Chain A
Amino acid sequence: MDVFNAIVQTLDSTIRLSVPLLLACLAGLYSERAGIFDIGLEGKMLVGAFAGAAAASVFHSALLGLGMAILVSVAFAMVHGFASITHRGNQIVSGVAINFVAAGSTIILGQAWFQQGGRTPALQPGERFEAITWPGADAVRDVPIIGPIYAELISGHSLLVYLAFLMVPFTWWVLFRTRFGLRLRAVGENPAAVDTAGISVAWLRYRALICTGILTGVAGAYLSMVQNGGFVKDMTAGKGYIALAALIFAKWKPVNAMFACLLFGFLDALSIRLQGSPLPIIGKVPVQFMQALPYILTVVLLAGFIGKAIPPRAGGVPYVKER
């Protein structure tokens, strides 16, 4: 039973750890499918986390915090759009710039406004998203096998966790079953064709970036208002890049993205759980190896040893109407 409980707990923390990855990964999915590379997921998550926690603690409302997180994150996405769509700048350069501005400004503004060394005040109950206990979760907790699974794994997460997982079928539906999704995918493959059909490439790509901004905002809010009770400087700690890796790992598909994020989340949960305790057969695995594994796996995938990841064809290329 101990082993079973350990497994359930690990899976539970897998879910918690993969939610920000999943949201950021889906965010990247919208922009990359529309042909805009977005290295700036990390930065947008960070400003989302900061704006969310700051607004929640000032206005004493979790929902206002979430709204502010989305707003600021979308604003940063629009800067990316302004540089890479309107001015046809290099998308990678613009993304790198956004990450820097985000990293610096969250600390500077946080310190200036709250004077807590770049942190925001600890969020009080009501300013964070609380865990939702599903009906009957406490009643069935003692039932063997099913009880813990229902009570720990399915019930007892915050609203944003369920939202993140609902975003997977929703994103799939948007991309593959709506006109907007069809056009969005088309603009990432062959913008000239979309242009010829009389649809504005720029506006379409801007809309894709708005979707990206919304999702990175939610991802940031999750970090600072669910996983942690407030903003801490550099709290994204490379999650935006892992999400990018997951996106490639998922070959730019929503359902795959969920599994990729769960896998990377699981690796993270496992490395926290093991913390130096030896595994059977393999022996002691260094924590650092587990942390590097998502990146190593992505490189191996990119090398074409496990399937081939083919990015959207027009990705990274600014669209220029005929000259």
Chain B
Amino acid sequence: MSTPYAKLPAWADYGLIPLINLAVAFIVAGFVVLLVGENPFRAAVILVQGAFGKGTGIAFTLFYATTFIFTGLSVAVAAHCGLFNIGTEGQAYIAGLGIAIVCLSFDSVLPWWLTFPLAIVASALVGALWALIPAYLQAKRGSHIVITTIMFNFIAASIMVYLLVGPLKPAGSQAPQTRNFLAGAELPKLNWIIELFGAKIRSAPLNVTFLLALVMAFLVWLLIWRTKLGYEMRTYGHSPKAARYAGISETRIIITAMMISGALAGMMALNPVMGDQHNVAIDFVSGAGFVGIAVALMGRLHPVGIVLAAILFGMLYQGGAELAFEMPAISRDMIVIIQGLVILFAGALEHMFRPYIQALFASFSPRSVGMEAVKGKGA
């Protein structure tokens, strides 16, 4: 067990192992469903049908996926640099403030296609700035970024609650949220794309932010694997010592990576705020930042994997809502369990099945794992 892991073929490494981990997570979740006294297979069918059965379902699935692409990318960018950004939640939450300022100021004067770029910049900027302080403290003071970003989540929540029950709340209103945005800050829907395929959609919040998310996924791929900065980030993530030896500035790389991560987290807020609710309300992020951790781990930190994992989680969210409707014993909190199990099996226990799979590969085709065919002389 203490031997370094032998190489598996790429398809097994990036396809088979995540799938096995995912399957185990779902099997354990199935036991929870059993414990509640429902049929896990029927639950799975309802879930998938709810997410993909109808046009509206698909649109909702993609709407949720949009949010998770942003948070997943945010976690992944930091992770490539060896940093665990657990503060995606707070960065997205506080970015709502930037969006609120832009939208509340311009929604009556500008059309949406001018408000949108401004809001993108504002959300990215605020998210990046919220990540800057923990990044600086990590780089300069050595304070553990996990702890500081957790603390910043709570500080962000306090600030937002203070603002939303106070200064940002319109006079005379009881609800802790801003006033509703006017048409100048409402993003156009994308439902027509799904309708092209013949499906009918009643009303779903899928909007142009989805395209922005895909663009960002491409840009992140470009950044990580095709630029000098990305190379430096990966180097630092692999071995801070090697990076230092190569003359990469530790401070610069940590701060840059965290600010990009924060900016991506911040952009997540665009989707629910401008695309769906048209106001900034208390707790509008509602855990999406933490889902980002699961999505990034599931997608093995690669943008393509992240988009797929985000769609999977979007499916869980949308299908989960249908499931709660069909099986009252299983509320949407079931998703939280599945999320936790995915994080556990795809993240913390990602290597649990690896030795067995290696042994299996080795017994079938020793050369596929880079070994000679001699028994007992293995990796």
Contact = CB atoms under 8 A, between A and B. Distances in A.
B121 interface: no
A109 B158 contact: no
Interface stretch (A64-72, A138-146, A240-248): A240-248
Q: Is the interface of B mostly helix, strand, loop or mixed?
A: helix
B331 A84 contact: no
A4 B161 CA distance: 33
Interface string B165-208: 01000000000000000000000000000000000000000000
B155 A292 contact: yes
28 contacts: A39-B86, A87-B348, A90-B347, A93-B293, A96-B343, A100-B337, A108-B36, A108-B331, A108-B334, A109-B32, A109-B36, A112-B35, A112-B37, A118-B331, A118-B333, A245-B151, A289-B158, A289-B162, A292-B154, A295-B154, A295-B155, A298-B151, A299-B133, A299-B148, A302-B137, A303-B137, A303-B141, A320-B2
Contacts of B155: 292, 295-296, 299
A156 interface: no
Contacts of A103: 333, 336, 340
Nearest to B28: A101
A184 interface: no
Contacts of B161: 288
A304 B333 contact: no
* Residue of A90, A92, A93, A103 with most chain B CB atoms under a 10 A cut-off: A93
Interface string A22-50: 00000000000000010100000000000
A299 B137 contact: yes
Interface string B332-367: 011111111101100111111000000000000000
Given A89-B348, A302-B144, 5 more contacts: A94-B347, A97-B348, A104-B333, A288-B159, A299-B137
Interface string A273-317: 000000000000010110110011011001110000101000000
Interface in A234-262: 238, 241, 244-245, 248
A321 B1 CA distance: 10
Nearest to B136: A303
A302 B340 contact: no
A99 B340 CA distance: 7
A96 B86 contact: yes
A237 to B, nearest CB: 11
Contacts of B130: none
Interface residues of A, number: 53
Contacts of B334: 104, 108
Given A93-B297, A321-B2, A109 B35 contact: yes
B329 A298 contact: no
Contacts of A112: 35-37, 329
Interface size grouping (class) on chain B: 35 or more
Interface of B: 2-4, 32, 35-37, 84, 86, 133, 137, 141, 143-144, 146-148, 150-152, 154-155, 158-159, 161-162, 166, 290, 293, 297, 329-331, 333-341, 343-344, 347-352
Nearest to B133: A299
A101 B137 contact: no
Contact of A101 (B297, B344, B347, B351): B344
Contact of B3 (A100, A289, A309, A323): A323
Interface in A56-96: 79, 82-84, 87-94, 96
B143 A96 contact: no
